[in-house]
A and B are shown apart, each in its own frame.
Chain A
Amino acid sequence: MTEQPENSSPPKWADKLLKVFLPEDLAEELQGDMHEQFEVQVEEMGLTKAQWLYVWEVLRFCRPYFLKRKFKKNTNYSDPVSIFSLIMIRNYFKIALRHLWQNKAFTSINLLGLTIGTSCCLYMLLYIRSQYGYDEHHVAPQQLYRVTTEVTESGGQPFAMALTSPPIAKGLKEDFGEVAAVTRLFKDPGAERFLLKKENDAFYETKGYYADSSFFQLFNYRFIEGSPNRALNEPLTVVLSSKTAQKLFGSQAALNQSIKINNDLYRITGVYDDANVKSHINAHFIMSFKAGGMIEYLRTSNQWVGMNLVNTYIRLKPNTDAEKLQAKLSPFLERHAKEQLAQVGIRKALFLQPVTDVHLYSNLDSELEKNIEGTFIRTLLLIAILIQVMACINFMNMSTARSIGRAKEVGVRKVMGATRLSLAGRFVGESVLMVSLSILLALPLVWLLMPVLNSLLDAEISITLSLIGDLFAISGMLIVITGLLASIYPAFYLSAYQAIAVLKGNFQNRYNSLSIRKSLVVAQFVISVILLTGIIVITRQLNVFKNRDLGFEQTQKVIIPFTTKEASIHQVAFSNELRSSPAVKQVGGAAYYPCHWLGENMPLFYYPSANREKIGAGVWVNKIDENFLSTLHIPLIAGRNLAPADTNRQIIVNETTLREFAIPFKKAIGTRLFLEYQKIQEEYTIVGVVKDFNYRTLKEPLRPLMLKIAKPDQLKYLIADVDNVALDDFKEQISEKWRKLIPTIPFESTLLDDDIQQQYVAENTLLNIINSSAFIAFLIACLGLFGLATFTAEQRTKEVGIRKVLGASVSSLVALLSKEFLQLVGIAIIIAIPIAWYALNEWLKNFAYHIDLEWWMFALAGLLAIFIALATVSFQAIKAALVNPVKSLKSE
């Protein structure tokens, strides 16, 4: 071989031709063999012959086998594997899992954040979902409407209520062909509880309503016993919900049994199934409206303007336009009530409200139940979304921050032929995997925490079979939305890397990602700071409710209700018994007590002098006994107390009444006010003035009030002012006395301050939600910050090492590493304050008595945020600063 001349090579063109015939993967070895043979042949038979033979051999390579193989290669391997093929998806999962496993710290931070966020979201969405679908179980629910009333006193604000006057229902049925059926439901405002008695068994039950016999034609329930058709036709009949029937009769049949409700004997004509039925009515039992006495008077009343006491429901005929009907309601009222309206001097309007909307959107006066507020649902939804977004931000930041590691992977994949879309899909898939994992963790978490969460929201959600569908739907939705949200940005950011630049070690778009990352962190802290400010302000506002001087003493007051005649007979005896107890300082009685003020409102007039216009105002009325004021320590500032000898024409008023009627304080005693009603004029004389006290909720401004002396049977409540003794023991003692005196009726009592706090349940719930969501938001934000700080500390290990070697102190290094993050938090605070100020100001406007926003609340929130952020970041910073520089620098 060594003696071969340099030019003893096969013809170049033949070589090229050979390449045309050969499949690429075989070219090398075959050409090698050819050349080797050529060299042998040159030696054996000389150059020329060998060249001829070479060409001949090349031509013989032009064979179907090689051509076919070359062609087959083309179809098989240059066609890229689809990114959605099973192999690739399996590969994505494998790589994703490896990646997650490799970065355990970041995975757990991400997973923790996402799990917390998802649990939160999941529960809130379940709650929101449970608030929908009320009154959907009736036949054709979209045809059901409630008639509501708006009353405007002359010169006053319109006052919207859920109730109407009694004859309106009948009038609607008679006047309008499009109304298929009407019914009325009456909730006795004076009877919160009813005493149900079956033989010797007795207990108090709430939510007992009176209804017209047509009630079950409009509202459809499944009857377990009896039939809905004629259930309420006869007087003194009652239909029980299945729960109430269960309480009374257990598993025995209830139909045609008799029970005593308060003082009357009722016959049970039906039991309907109320399990899994959501309705804004939610009655425990429904009595026939034909109940005699005052109820019968109300039922047959012809008062078109006053007596706004009944719920009126109508069912429209199919294909009726409710709006058209509503337009006809004003002339309708004009037709029937013109005279009466003129007499009372108020304006009145009627509205139609879809029954299916009542639970979610209606918040009028005198609703049957406290309905959910739209703003509450929206706040909840907003918080759920914000928390989930914060968890997503963590995911995004963590992915982009750690992108340098991934960038190499992206580069290599691109070199291997991955398209940008397939890479983006991969990252999306990875985040969907994460979210799915977090849902898997969140489901049992939510299930475990359900009781706690329910108590926070004052809700009753349990994971039942009927909820599984919702749960799956919500989980699926969360996976898709969160998965996409968390991954869209990193996916496109990461997949945009240029393979060459990455593999060379250049990252052009680093700066870009850094600023986006920073803004995301700022966004997280904006949310956190807003929620934090929310906590401070709402807590302060609730403290106002709790601690504000209401104008009377609210502690150590025991309220004892008298719901039945049977009990009322013994009221005086029981009150004497109470007084004989050494712990009791005073016992007073009243028709209503503060915060339980359901009483009447009377339009009164005052004639300042002959030549001046009369002044009118609505005045709330309460009937009390002579001890009421001293029991509650309400100071009398002028005149005298009421005495048993007074008639109901002698009244005590509050200061607001004087202001409203512009009566000078000095002239107050002896001034007369008039009730003018259908040509009858009743005269009331002021005998005393009390200092203003908040007899209704602090959410409303104080209104005029008059107190009259009560007839003995009008005292629905006794209030005992008790010494500083243990109230539980005291209640036990008096219940003993009650049992001796009135053995047939169970004893009941409440505490005044508890009842007062009951009014602020909604606000307390809101505070609970804000509290816990702020906590969660902060936790997630801090997790994110912790992750980023860890990452930065890792990145700058060498820098820190060098600085340390050059003499930097630990404290200066910690400052260096923390400074950047604190700046972000600072910016977040600056952005958050105006937003928080606006939102909280709007919220506070809901309340008549509210705190003012002060600068220190925002400062406190900001300082807290900085402090928590600092604590989070400095942990990593200190750790990084304490590392021995030898360790961080020795490797290079």
Chain B
Amino acid sequence: MGRPYLGEFEELVLLTVAVLEGGAYGVAIASELKKRTDRIISLSGVHIALYRLEEKGFVKSVLGGATNERGGRRKRLFNITALGKRTLDEMRDIRNELWTSIPKLSFS
């Protein structure tokens, strides 16, 4: 595989960024993940995943405008890139392929 490695948690974060569609930033992603997975999600973990995804080119980010909330501090908003989308597609295809290759009787 030519593209960088994508960890399980990273994949979840990337998917969440895609889900949130432009509104993705640390807190939003963390609460979304918490809601959907019922895992304990630490903010620092989410951020590390985001920065690594950015370094790998799967997401891109912009600093949003200052708001009156959070003491006037700006948010970093993340967006999925074309590469990120393609990677997610590829991973789903591989999974689907694998799923279809499993002999039917083992599951059901």
Contact = CB atoms under 8 A, between A and B. Distances in A.
Contact of A32 (B42, B45, B70): B70
Interface residues of B, number: 21
A28 B27 CA distance: 14
A36 B69 contact: yes
B26 A29 contact: yes
A29 B75 contact: yes
16 contacts: A28-B74, A29-B73, A29-B75, A31-B73, A32-B70, A32-B71, A32-B73, A33-B47, A33-B75, A35-B71, A36-B70, A37-B43, A40-B27, A60-B42, A63-B44, A65-B48
A61 B71 contact: no
- How extensive is the interface on chain A, given as a class? 20 to 34
A39 B71 CA distance: 11
Contacts of A1: 69
B73 A37 contact: no
Nearest to A58: B44
A36 B45 CA distance: 16
A57 interface: yes
A33 B31 contact: no
Nearest to B64: A29
B13 to A, nearest CB: 14
A484 interface: no
Contacts of A100: none
> Counting chain B CB atoms within 10 Å of each CB, which of A31, A32, A57, A66 scores highest?
A32
Contacts of B76: 29
A29 B74 contact: yes
A39 B52 CA distance: 27
Given A35-B70, A61-B44, A63-B48, A40 B26 contact: no
Contacts of A39: 69-70
A33 B26 contact: yes
Contact of A37 (B30, B45, B51): B30
A32 B42 CA distance: 15
B25 interface: yes
B63 interface: yes
A28 B73 contact: yes
B25 A33 contact: yes
A30 B70 contact: no
A66 B75 CA distance: 18
Interface in A6-32: 26, 28-32
A5 to B, nearest CB: 16
A383 to B, nearest CB: 65
Nearest to B52: A65
Contact of A40 (B31, B42, B63): B31
Nearest to B68: A1
Nearest to A34: B43
Contact of A57 (B44, B48, B75): B44
Interface in A52-66: 57, 60-61, 63, 65-66
A69 B63 CA distance: 19
A707 B83 CA distance: 112
Interface string A574-590: 00000000000000000
Interface in B43-75: 43-45, 47-48, 51-52, 63, 69-71, 73-75
A32 B76 CA distance: 9
Contacts of B52: 65
Nearest to A59: B44
Nearest to A62: B44
A729 B27 CA distance: 111
A69 B75 CA distance: 20
